[in-house]
Amino acid sequence: MSAALALSIVAPCYNEEAGLAAFVARMSAAAQAAVGADYELILVDDGSRDRTWSVIRGLSADHPRIVGVRLSRNHGHQLAVTAGLSRVRGRRVMVIDADLQDPPELVGPMIARLDEGYDVVFGRRRQRAGESIFKRATASLFYRTLAALTETEIPLDTGDFRLMSRRIVDRLNAMPERDRFIRGMVAWLGGTQTEFLYDRDPRLAGETHYTLRRMVRLAIDGLTGFSTAPLRLAMILAGFGLLVAGALLVYVLWGFVTHSATPGWTSLALIVVFFSTAQLACLAIFGEYLGRTYMQSKGRPLYMIDEIVAGDASEARD
Ligand code: UDP
Ligand code: MG
């Protein structure tokens, strides 16, 4: 490990030809100021349709610190980051967008914070300049809904802009799940994590690739990846159905006893009440098993050990 670089930077790039050179210039200067030449900048071309890859090739020919990784097609932001993270060689790893919305100059202060003994320093957005009210409102709603429905404490208003210790990145890379919601996975890993408040800038060039459709997908990935609450809906409905059925039962039987009901209605009502409640109950049971199978299928480790102390030093450390 001692041969590891001081810093790896991973930047996913999709159709970023216009702003990439500016990003690399600012990012390299900031990294150079923070750790000298002891860093690498991994640019992952996520199957861009513009000239992003040839820009990356050109930049890597000029800068020895740049590593270009080209994905075979567009795999999406989260997988592009995943691909970059799988190739890091540094002791500290930064994930940053290539569109200059996350200021590269924060790398120095974030390293200082990480070196105080944290595993993760995640950027938390104080402001999001240049983004529509709609985007800000939906993002805010999403983060809060997610927080309400999951047991993992996923920090609010936090994207993937962050600095991590290599230990966390190795653990993240070892998580085999396919639908990756990285900010949630990092939160799930635990360890010591702290926020770093910053103002998100407007995009330098080009436009956002997170269309409404992609945002909804990401939201669904986040929600289903960390919560089986939606599956529990049947359980809630069944409970509610049971209450209604109880009340209905009294009403139906009262009609039968007082002969005020149309003949045939009693049995019909009873059948409907009984079977619909039974069906919801069965769905709820399915949901419980399915939820467990689903979580198991993610193949996540059961727990993470941060530290072990033993008086006689016979216990190995992590
Ligand atoms: N990105 C990517 N693949 C995609 C979409 C986006 O690698 O399919 C990259 C993009 O180049 C940028 C980062 O992910 O560096 C964030 O994307 P974007 O700026 O479009 O999202 P926003 O900042 O608007 O949420
Ligand atoms: Mg952006």
Best residue for ligand 1 mutational test, from 9, 10, 13, 14 (most atoms within 8 Å of Cβ): 14
Q: Which two tokens stand for residue 65?
A: 């610190």
Which pLDDT score is estimated for 253? 86
Domain 7-213+302-316 class in CATH: alpha beta
Q: If you take atom 2 of ligand 1, which residue's CA is the nearest one?
A: 77
Determine if ligand 1 sits within 6 Å of the CB of residue 138: no
Classify each residue of 112-149 as buried b or exposed e, where b means 16 or more C-beta atoms within 10 Å of its C-beta: ebbeeebbbbbbbbeebeebeeeeeeebeebbeebeee
Closest residue by Cα to atom 24, ligand 1, is 208
What is the distance in A from the centroid of ligand 2 to the CA of 296?
33
Distance 90 CA to ligand 2 centre (A): 25
**Cα–Cα separations (whole angstroms), residue 114 to 119, 121, 194, 259:** 7, 6, 9, 77
Distance from Cα 205 to the centre of ligand 2, integer Å: 10
Query: How far is residue 107's CA from residue 289's CA, in Å, rounded to a whole number?
Result: 45
Q: Is 160 in the pocket of ligand 1 (CB under 6 A)?
A: no
Query: How many CB atoms neighbour CB 187 within 10 A?
Result: 19
User: For the residues 219-225, what does the mean pLDDT come to?
Assistant: 89
Least confident of 18-22, 140-144, 286-290, 296-300: 140-144
Question: What is the pLDDT, as a whole number, of residue 184?
Answer: 94
Q: What does the longest C-alpha to C-alpha distance in the chain come to?
A: 93
User: Ligand 1 in contact with 209 (CB < 6 A)?
Assistant: yes
What SS3 state is found at 86? coil
State if residue 23 touches ligand 1 by the CB under 6 angstroms criterion: no
13 lines ligand 1 (CB under 6 A): yes
What is the average per-residue pLDDT within 202-225?
87
Tokens of 299: 């193949």
- The average pLDDT across 162-168 equals 97
Q: Which two tokens stand for residue 201?
A: 């800038």
- The structural domains of the chain, with segments of one domain joined by +, span 7-213+302-316, 229-297
User: What percent of the chain shows pLDDT beyond 70?
Assistant: 97
What's the pTM? 0.87
Task: Tell me how far apart the alpha carbons of residues 277 and 237 are, in angstroms, rounded to a whole number.
Answer: 9
Count of all residues that appear for the chain in the document? 318
98 or 141, higher pLDDT: 98
Ligand 2 midpoint to CA 158 (Å): 13
Q: Pairing state of beta strands 66-70 and 120-128? A: unpaired
According to the model, what pLDDT value does residue 313 have? Answer: 61
- Closest ligand to Cα 138: 1
Nearest to 119 by CA among 190, 174, 192, 185: 192
Tokens of 105: 């100059």
Using a 6 Å cutoff on CB, does residue 128 contact ligand 1?
A: no
Q: Of all protein residues, whose CA lies closest to atom 23 belonging to ligand 1?
A: 208
- Given its phi and psi angles, is residue 100 left (phi above 0), alpha (psi -120 to 50 degrees) or beta? left
39 pLDDT higher than 90: yes
Q: Give the angle subtended at the CA of 83 by the CAs of 79 and 88, to the nearest 5°.
A: 140
Burial of 295 (0-12, 13-18, 19+ CB in 10 A): middle
What number does the ligand 1 atom closest to the CA of 46 have? 7
Q: CA 283 from chain center: how many Å?
A: 28
Q: Is 98 near ligand 1, meaning CB less than 6 Å away?
A: yes
Please say if the pLDDT value at position 130 is more than 90: no
Query: How confident is residue 2, by pLDDT bands cut at 50, 70 and 90?
Result: low
The pLDDT score that the predictor gives to residue 149 is: 87
